[in-house]
Chain A
Amino acid sequence: MATVTATAPDTRTFAGTAWSWITTVDHKRIAVLYLVTSLAFFMLGGLEALLMRLQLATPEADVVSAERFTELFTMHGTTMVFLALMPLSAAFFNLLVPLMIGARDVAFPRLNALSYWIYLFGGIFMNISFVAGGAPNAGWFGYAPLTDTAFEATHAIDFWAFGLQILGVSSILASINFIVTIINMRAPGMTLNRMPMFVWMSMITAFLIIFAFPAITIGLVLLIFDRYIETSFFIPEGGGDPVLWQHLFWVFGHPEVYILILPAMGIVSEILPTYSRKPLFGYAVVAYSGAAIALVGFGVWTHHMFTVGLGPIADTAFAISTMAIAVPTGVKIFNWIATLYGGSISFKSPMLFAVGMVAMFIIGGLSGVMLGSPPIDSQVQDTYFVVAHLHYVLFGGTVFGLFAGIYHWFPKFTGRFMHDGWGKVHWLLMLIGFNLTFLPQHMLGIDGMPRRVHTYAADMGFDLWNMMSTVGSLMIGLSFLIFIINALRSIRHGEPSGGDPWDGGTLEWTIPSPPPVYNFAEIPVVDGRYPAWDIKRGGGHTGAVATAPEAGAEADEPDIHMPNPSYWPIVMAAGMVLAACGLIFHQAFILLGAMLFVISLVGWIEEPAG
C-alpha cells in the first residue's frame, strides 16, 4: 500500500484539509505546524513584554498591577524560551535536517508528530492558567522557596511545573528522533565531516537537550512533591535547601542557553556562505567549537549563582570555566567574518538578518565576559544589565538568526519569495528598535535598577533609559507586524522562487519548492560539503542530485513508499496533558488521560507502519 497518493486525504474540503494536518507525519508539514505555533507564542510573549515596557515607561505607573506584573515577566520568559524559540528551532530541524542529509523523512515520523502535539497542548495548558485562577508568577527560573505552597497557595506554580514537564517530554522525544535521523539516515557519501553545519548544530543541540533536561525534570518532580505531598526538598524548615533548586535549575538552565543559540548559529553558518558564495571558513573548527561550547556549557552553571554565597573557591572555579567558554564562541565569530572575507556578498534580507545576528551576538558575548567576573557580577547580577545581556544573546543572537532562517527558507517551504523590500524594512526597524530597547538597559543595571521590579521611584534617575527602552520595544512590535503581513501576503502572492533561488550549496536546493512529499525522487550520492554547488559549478562528482526534478514533476509521481498518516500521536498527546489537568482541576481527568494514553499506545503499536 501507500504510494504517496494512495492515502492522501481529500484536501478539497476544509474538513479534509484539517484532518490531513491533524494526522500528518510528514516532517515538512510538521515543520510548518511548529513554525506557525511558535510564531503565535512569540507574539504572545511579545505582547507580555510590551505590557511590561508600558508599565515601566514612566516611574510609579499603574498600567498593570504588581501581581499581574509578576505573571507577565514569568510567562514572558517561560513562553519565549520554551514555547517560542525552542519550537522555532524545532521547525528548522524538521524542515531542514531530512532535506539537508538527503533523507525522505525523519527516523520516527509518528514520534515527530507526537512531539509537536505535546508541545502545542503543553503550551495551551500553561497559558490556560491566565483564566484559571492565576498564571505562574515566580519568575522563569522559579526560585524556591517562593514556589512553595506556603507562598503560593493557588495552582499558578502547578501550571508552570506540569507545563514544563510536558514540554520537556516533547523536547526529549524530538531530540532522540533527530539524533537517530542524523546518525542513521544520511545519504550515501555524506560523512559526518561533510554534513551541513546546521545539521551539526542540530545534532549537538539534540544531545544538549537529552543531557540537560533530566536535571530540570528531577527538580520539577521534587518541587511537585514539595507542593503536593509536603516533602521538603527545598524547604529549610524541613531540612531542605532552596539552593539545591538553583543548582538543579541551572545545571539545566545554562545548557539551555546553548540549546537556544546553537541552532541560530547553525542557520547563520549556512546563510553567510550562500550569500558570499564561499564555503564556510574553518568548517572543522566551527563544528568542534560548537561541541566545545556544548561540553563546557555543562560546567559553568554556578555563574548564575555568584551572589548566593557559595564561597570564593567555587566562584573562582566557575569564573574560570565561564571565561573559557568565551574562546570557542569568539572562534566562531572570527570564522564567520573570515567566511565573508574575499567573498561576493549579496545583501538580500536573509543575509541582513544573519549579519545582524553576528553583530548583535558579539555584544551579548562581550557583556557576558563582564558578567563572568564575580566581583563585577556581584554589582550587576539581578539588575537590568543582565536583562540587557541575555536579550543581546537570545534576541540579538537567536531571534535574528531564526528570522534569517525564515527569510532564507521561506521559498523552500512555499515556493515563493517573501517581499525583499519589506524584509529589509523589518530588519532595519527591528535592529534599531532592538538596540534602543536593550542598550539603555545596560546603563539601568549599572545605575542600580534591579530586574523584576514592577515600578521604580521618580528620583532614581531611571526615567530616560526606561522611556527609550519602551519606545524601542514598540518599534520591535511594529517590525514584527510588518513581518507577519509580509509573510501572509507572500504565501499567496509572493514572487515564485523556483527550487534554488539563492544559489544554495546544500541538498535541499537541488529539489523543487515546495519539496514533493518524498523529498528526493532518487536518494542523492554526496561527495562534498556543498553538493549543489559542485553540480552547478561542475566541480564535483555528485551523481544523483544532478537529475533532481524541477517543479511540475508531479505529473509522473514515482512510486515511493511513505509512512501513513496517523491520528494516534494527537490522541496520545491529549492523554498526557489531560492527565496533568487532573492534578489541577479534577482527579477524573487523570483517569481519562491515562485511558487515552493506553488506548493510543495500543493503537500506535497495532497500526500498520505504512
Chain B
Amino acid sequence: MTLANGDANRPVQGQRSTPLTYRRRIHTALLIPALAVAALAVAACGVTPQTTLEPTTEAARTARDLLMFVFWAMVVTFVLVEGALLYVLVRYRRRSGDGIPPQTHGNTPLEIGWTIAPAILVVIIVVLTVPAIFSNARAASPDALKVRAIGHQWWFEFQYPDIGVVTANELHLPVGRDVEIQLESNDVLHSFWVPSLRGKLDMVPGRENKFTIKPEVTGTFPGQCAEFCGTAHALMKFYVVVETQAEFTAWAETQRAERVPPTSDLARLGEETLTLGGCVACHTIRGTDSAGVLGPDLTHIGSRQHIAAGILENTPENMRAWLSDPQGVKPGNTMVIPELTTEQLDALVAYMQGLK
C-alpha cells in the first residue's frame, strides 16, 4: 500500500496550488499503512505453532516455497495494477472547466498486450506448480513405515499395522524415514493437517487416501482437523511427535504392551469403576475386559501429552475436568459418564494417569 500511495501521489504534487495542505494529506495517507506495518511486526513476534511457514519436510517446504514465490509475484502485480489505478484516478480527476474528454473506444494492440501479460505470468506459475503436484504425490520407499490414520467425530485414531500399535490423537514418527500415511474416516469427512509436515489431505469415508512424507526434524508438531465435521470440529486436534529411531522403537515397545496393572488401592478401584461404569462399551484397555472400539484406545492414555483430542494437557486436574463434564469441555461429544462419587472420580483419574 505504501508504495502505491507514494507513486500515485508524486505527479500531483507540483500541480497543486497549496502544497502545504497537500503534504499534510500525504502524511495522513502514509500513517495508515505505517500503523498496519507496525501491527504486523507486533503480530509477527507472537508464536504461531501451527504456521505453514516453518516446514520440516520436503513436501511442506515445496508448498511454502511455491507460496512465497506466487505471493511475491502477486505483490508485484498488486503494486503495478493498483498503482496504475490510483495514478489514473488522481491524474484524471475532474477539474473545473473540464469539457468532454477525448472519446477513445479501444486499442487492439494494447488489449492484446494486456491479455498476453497475465497469460505469461500464469504459465510461469503453472510450470512451477505441476512438478510440485507430482512430488507431493510421490510413492513411498519400500521400507516406509505404514500408518493408518482414521478420523472419528471428534478424534484421530492411529494404527501401525506392521508393528501392532494402536493409539489416538498423538502420532509418533521416526525422523529421517519415509512414512506412508493412509487416511480413512469412520463417519463423516475429516481432513488430516499438520502444517509443518505437509498440506492437508481429506479423510473420506469409503475411500483411502495416501501420502508419503519424510520428517526431518524432531519435535512435537500440532495438527488439526481441517474439514468441517460437526459441532466439535474446532476441538479435533492432535500432535505429531517426531523422534529418533531409537526413541520411536522404545515408544512402540511400550505401546504394544498390555496396560500397566494398577498398583494402589485407589487405582484398582479406578479400574473396577471403569469396567462396571460402562466405559468398556466404547474403550479398549488391553489386559482388562475393556474392548470397545467406538472411542479411543486407552491402554496407554497416561503416556500421552494431551487428552480429549489434543485440547487439554494431560494433567490430573484436566482429566478430572474432562470426566466430570465431557459435553462441557467438548460440545456434541457422545461420551456418557454415569453419576460418579468423588472417590470414584479420584480413582478413575489415578488409574488413567497410571496407564503409562
Q: Is the CB of B89 within 8 A of A355?
A: yes
A446, CB-defined interface residue at 8 Å: yes
Once the chains bind, are A446 and B53 in contact (CB under 8 Å)?
yes
Instruction: Name A's B-contacting residues (CB within 8 A).
Output: 65-67, 70, 138-139, 143, 145-146, 150-151, 236-237, 240-243, 276-279, 281-285, 307-309, 311-312, 315-316, 319-320, 323-324, 326-327, 330-331, 333-335, 337-338, 340-347, 355, 358-359, 362-363, 366-367, 369-370, 372-383, 443, 446-457, 459-465, 468, 537
Please, how many angstroms separate the alpha-carbon atoms of A320 and B128 in the complex?
12
9 closest A-B pairs by CB: A378-B199, A236-B206, A448-B50, A453-B234, A461-B48, A309-B209, A330-B118, A66-B331, A323-B122
CA distance A315 to B201 in the complex (A): 13
Q: In the complex, which residues of chain A have a beta carbon less than 8 angstroms from the beta carbon of B99? A: 344
| 19 A-B pairs (CB sep. < 8 Å) | A66-B332, A139-B228, A143-B228, A146-B229, A151-B188, A307-B191, A309-B207, A330-B115, A344-B95, A370-B71, A375-B199, A379-B200, A448-B50, A448-B224, A449-B50, A450-B193, A454-B233, A461-B47, A461-B48
The answer to whether B52 has its CB under 8 Å from any CB of chain A is: yes
On chain B, the residues within 8 Å of A463 by CB distance are 46
**Inter-chain contact B92/A345, CB cutoff 8 Å:** yes
Task: Given the known inter-chain contacts A146-B229, A362-B81, A375-B199, please indicate yes or no for A327 contacting B234, CB distance below 8 A.
Answer: no
Query: Of the 9-residue stretches B105-113, B141-149, B255-263, B344-352, which lies at the interface with chain A?
Result: B105-113
Chain B proximity of A466: nearest CB distance (Å):
11
Residue A448 contacts which of B48, B81, B103, B132 (CB distance < 8 angstroms)?
B48
B63 contacts across to A, CB distance below 8 A: 375-376, 378-379
User: Given known contacts A242-B206, A324-B122, what 11 new A-B pairs fall within 8 Å (CB)?
Assistant: A277-B101, A281-B107, A340-B89, A366-B74, A374-B129, A379-B52, A379-B200, A447-B53, A450-B224, A450-B225, A464-B39
Which secondary structure dominates chain B's binding surface? mixed
**A378 touching B198 by the CB < 8 A rule?**
yes
Whether the Cβ atoms of A381 and B226 lie closer than 8 Å is yes
A319: chain B residues within 8 A (beta carbon): 126, 129-130, 133
Indicate if the CB atoms of A382 and B47 lie closer than 8 Å.
Answer: no
Contact in complex: B67, A344 (CB < 8 Å): no
A330: B residues at CB distance < 8 A: 114-115, 117-118
Query: In the bound complex, do residue A380 and residue B52 qualify as a contact, i.e. CB atoms below 8 Å apart?
Result: yes
CA distance A337 to B107 in the complex (A): 13
Indicate which residue in B123, B227, B232 contacts A143 across the interface (CB closer than 8 Å).
B227
Q: Is the CB of A456 within 8 A of B70?
A: no
Residues in chain A near residue B207, CB distance under 8 A: 236, 241, 243, 309
A345 to B331, CA, bound (A): 56
Are B85's CB and A378's CB within 8 A?
no
B250 lies within 8 A of chain A by Cβ: no
Cα–Cα distance between A453 and B224 once the two chains are bound (Å) = 11
Q: Which chain A residue lies CB-closest to B189?
A: A143
Inter-subunit contact A362/B103 (CB<8 Å): no
Q: Once the chains bind, are A326 and B100 in contact (CB under 8 Å)?
A: no
A277 to B101, CA, bound (A): 7
Chain A contacts for B43, CB-based, 8 A: 443, 461, 464-465
Cα–Cα, bound, A381→B51 (Å): 14
